[in-house]
Amino acid sequence: MGKPTGFLEIERKNDSEIAPLERLKNWKEFKLSGTNEDRAKQGARCMDCGTPFCHTGNIVSGMASGCPINNLIPEWNDLVFRGRWKEALERLHKTNNFPEFTGRVCPAPCEGSCVLGVIEPPVTIKYNECAITDRGWSEGWVTPKLPAKRTGKKVAVVGSGPAGLSAADQLNQAGHTVTVFEREDRIGGLLMYGIPNMKLDKENVVQRRVNLMAEEGIDFKTGVFIGKDSEWTAEKLRTEFDAIVLCCGATLGRDLPIENRDANGVHLAMEFLTENTRYQLDHKFDGTKPPLNAEGKDVVVIGGGDTGTDCVGTSLRHGCKSVIQLEIMPKPPTERAANNPWPEWPKVYKMDYGQEEAAAVQGEDPRQYLIQTKRFIKDDAGNLSGLEICEIEWAKDENGRFTPKEVEGTARVIPAQLCLLAMGFLGPEQTIVEQFALETDNRSNVKAEHEKYTTNIEGVFAAGDMRRGQSLVVWAINEGRGAARECDRYLMGHTNLP
């Protein structure tokens, strides 16, 4: 694939970005696509591996290695190199319903397992993916695809995140009549409210795809909370639809039940991010700020990962006084450790966009490692004023498990008027689980075997984070597609869905 000597002649080149201090002035996407010629050169670096690992989608050491939806990466890199962009888009859509989403927000486990990455910087797979789909939209190649005929079967999809949307898209293309239920006021779930606009544009990217799906015949119903809504109950769904696919996510955030947790100013990260995006959309990004904002405050983000980074970037755009990010784990090494070999995801130190922006404003990476929060401190009015923190070290307990142990003499107080808890998610909210009487596993996720997705209730399927726990957008698409396939098989006795 590509140019046989491309990886020897051409250096890796990422898409450019608007400078941190400049992009902090607004909520617009800050990635700048390179030219078609740049992308063709990057496609040429794809090195015709004897056994490419980029599209394998395996789990190695508990992490994704390669693309979970098995994108035909060498094929469309070769097509980009040869200037056959429309064919590249067709290849991309064979496995990925929404490459405009993954091309923006996926951490690219495909690049972590790129064979070239063993000795050189890996192929720029993610940037080429985004370039292909963006050109497809701009050229008018992405158009509504209406099913040739309808089956007469009706399917309800509950949840409109990446799993729900991919399931709905596949089932609609199979000819079923699909209705998507979403409790929020806009369609998109995590894509709409869990990821800030500067990473994934809501009106020009997410809503554009939703509009296309509506043109293809999918019925979207917003403001419907199955399990709490008096009209749309689990019983009514089972009565009115031939099958149900539950894709409600793992939205139960991990809390921090320590002293003074009730202080005003301590919030779960998703509460902060969701309220901000909803406000910005309602006010057309007019420069005003939502009631819950970081302006003029010392902000502490507890937890790393994408959610923590998004809290940092959002706080800086609000005009916070300062922002620091506390991580309980040690700082990663700058290169792969011996126990983290290829093709595992490389667990190495890097700064994401939020840390880059904080460093531009404050002069250094905002993250502090091996730090534990002991208690919140509040003033006489009940408002958060600070955190007592300490340094920790990881040591084995009497059962041989590594646990954090406070380093004596390191306790100190840091100022904070806003603390955002970005420590991950525990699983799905239980309201809908209980109403459907679904069996759950020991992590509170809905019990449904991978690749089958069937729950203990006939005709009810579960997919995405609701089934597997907190994960990546690309895994959610994988699961939504798989659940659609098995739902189609259940309805028709056979299936042609991949």
177-182 β-sheet, strand order: 219-222, 177-182, 154-158, 243-246, 460-462
Helix (H, G, I), strand (E, B) or coil at 364: coil
Within 10 A of 218 (CB to CB), how many other CB atoms are there? 21
Q: What is the pLDDT along the chain (498 residues), one digit of tens a residue?
A: 568 899 999 999 988 899 999 999 999 999 988 889 999 999 999 988 888 999 988 888 888 899 999 999 999 999 999 999 999 999 999 999 999 999 999 999 999 999 999 999 999 999 999 999 999 999 999 999 999 999 999 999 999 999 999 999 999 999 999 999 999 999 999 999 999 999 999 999 999 999 999 999 999 999 999 988 778 999 999 999 999 999 999 999 999 999 999 999 999 999 999 999 999 999 999 999 999 999 999 999 999 899 999 999 999 999 999 999 999 999 999 999 999 999 999 999 999 999 999 999 999 999 999 999 999 999 999 999 999 999 999 998 888 899 999 999 999 999 999 999 999 999 999 999 999 999 999 999 999 999 999 999 999 999 999 999 999 999 999 999 999 999 999 999 999 999
Within 10 A of 240 (CB to CB), how many other CB atoms are there? 12
pTM over 0.85: yes
Map out the domains of the chain with their CATH numbers: 6-138 (1.10.1060.10), 154-251+426-492 (3.50.50.60), 255-423 (3.50.50.60)
* Residue 292: partners with Cβ closer than 8 Å, 6 or more residues away: 267, 271, 272, 275, 276
The DSSP output letter for 122 is P
* Residue 193: partners with Cβ closer than 8 Å, 6 or more residues away: 184, 186, 270, 273, 274, 277, 278
